[in-house]
């Protein structure tokens, strides 16, 4: 099983974005998580395409883009062109799941699908073979710094069982309220990638915070 940490840029200092990304680039984190919010799907607005470029220039790590936007199929391919290696959209945000998957794949990136805390993993059973990654939200999407919702652990277990039964190697990623206090629990449940914003960028030594989550 892989153990990947994906620091969330949402909690970085945008006044010194390049410095913060280069810091991640030197750390044990393998991915950089980029949260895009449109103020419609979630009650917050973060950033879009112009921020992708400086991030892409500052690191060679995997860019893991999390779209919290309505009708993501309108923009999925453009995020791949902007440098995304993985594009994850929300199950709840689109009427055209197949279209989202096709546009991301067609543009050359890996495909992720995410579920909010109130959405059951069961809805993903038929979609699982078509995606590379499932992102389980362990907070309501929209803001960093919220408390971890423990119900996410059972969702990870359910998805792990589902993917094994189907003979798939889908990556299970978890996002929200993650630190060294719960990383072990999530890795043990079957998660292979963990997003961490405030616990990384809020730490005195972010690289050490990442190591602690990996070794917990």
Q: Closest CB to ligand DX5 among 124 and 165?
A: 124
Q: Closest CB to ligand DX5 among 171 and 178?
A: 178
Contact, 92 vs 116, CB < 8 A? Answer: yes
Strand partners, 90: 114
Among 3, 61, 66, 163, binds Zn ion (CB under 5 A): 66
Q: Single out the catalytic residue among 35, 64, 132, 160.
A: 35
Among 175, 189, 200, 210, binds Zn ion (CB under 5 A): 175
Among 4, 11, 24, 35, binds Zn ion (CB under 5 A): 35
Among 4, 159, 196, 209, binds ligand DX5 (CB under 6 A): 196
Cβ burial of 12 (10 Å; 0-12, 13-18, 19+) is: buried
* CA angle in degrees (0–180, nearest 5) for 4-163-119: 85
- Is 96 strand, coil or helix? coil
Q: Closest CB to ligand DX5 among 69 and 167?
A: 69
Kindly identify the residues of this chain, within the stretch 75-114, that bind ligand DX5 according to CB under 6 A.
none
Rounded distance between C-alpha atoms, residue 211 and residue 51, angstroms: 27
Rounded distance between C-alpha atoms, residue 33 and residue 206, angstroms: 15
Contacts (Cβ under 8 Å, ≥6 apart) of 157: 189, 190
Kindly identify the residues of this chain, within the stretch 88-127, that bind Zn ion according to CB under 5 A.
none
Kindly identify the residues of this chain, within the stretch 157-176, that bind ligand DX5 according to CB under 6 A.
175-176
Rounded distance between C-alpha atoms, residue 98 and residue 117, angstroms: 22
Which residue's CB comes closest to ligand DX5?
197
Contact, 67 vs 87, CB < 8 A? Answer: yes
Q: Is 134 in the site for ligand DX5 (CB under 6 A)?
A: no
Count the site residues for ligand DX5 by CB under 6 A: 22
Q: Single out the catalytic residue among 64, 132, 160, 175.
A: 175
* Binding site residues, ligand DX5, CB under 6 A: 8, 10-11, 33, 35, 66, 139, 141-146, 175-178, 195-199
* Binding site residues, Zn ion, CB under 5 A: 35, 66, 175
């Amino acid at each position: 099983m892989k153990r990947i940490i994906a620091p969330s840029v949402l909690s970085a200092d945008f006044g010194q974005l390049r410095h913060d990304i280069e810091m991640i680039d030197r750390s044990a984190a393998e991915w950089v998580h980029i949260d895009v919010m449109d103020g419609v799907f979630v009650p917050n607005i973060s950033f879009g395409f112009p921020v992708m470029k400086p991030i892409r220039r500052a690191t060679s790590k995997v860019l893991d883009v999390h779209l919290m936007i309505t009708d993501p199929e309108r923009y999925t391919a453009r995020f791949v062109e902007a440098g995304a290696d993985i594009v994850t959209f929300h199950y709840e945000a689109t009427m055209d799941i197949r279209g989202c998957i096709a546009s991301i794949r067609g543009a050359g990136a890996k495909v992720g699908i995410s579920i909010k805390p109130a959405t059951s993993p069961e809805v993903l059973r038929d979609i699982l073979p078509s995606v590379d990654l499932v992102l389980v939200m362990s907070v309501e999407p929209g803001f960093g710094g919220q408390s971890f919702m423990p119900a996410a652990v059972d969702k990870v277990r359910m998805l792990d069982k589902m993917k094994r039964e189907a003979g798939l190697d889908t990556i299970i990623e978890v996002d929200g309220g993650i630190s060294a206090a719960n990383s072990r629990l999530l890795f043990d449940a079957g998660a292979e990638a963990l997003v961490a914003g405030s616990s990384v960028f809020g730490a005195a030594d972010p690289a050490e915070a990442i190591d602690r989550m990996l070794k917990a």
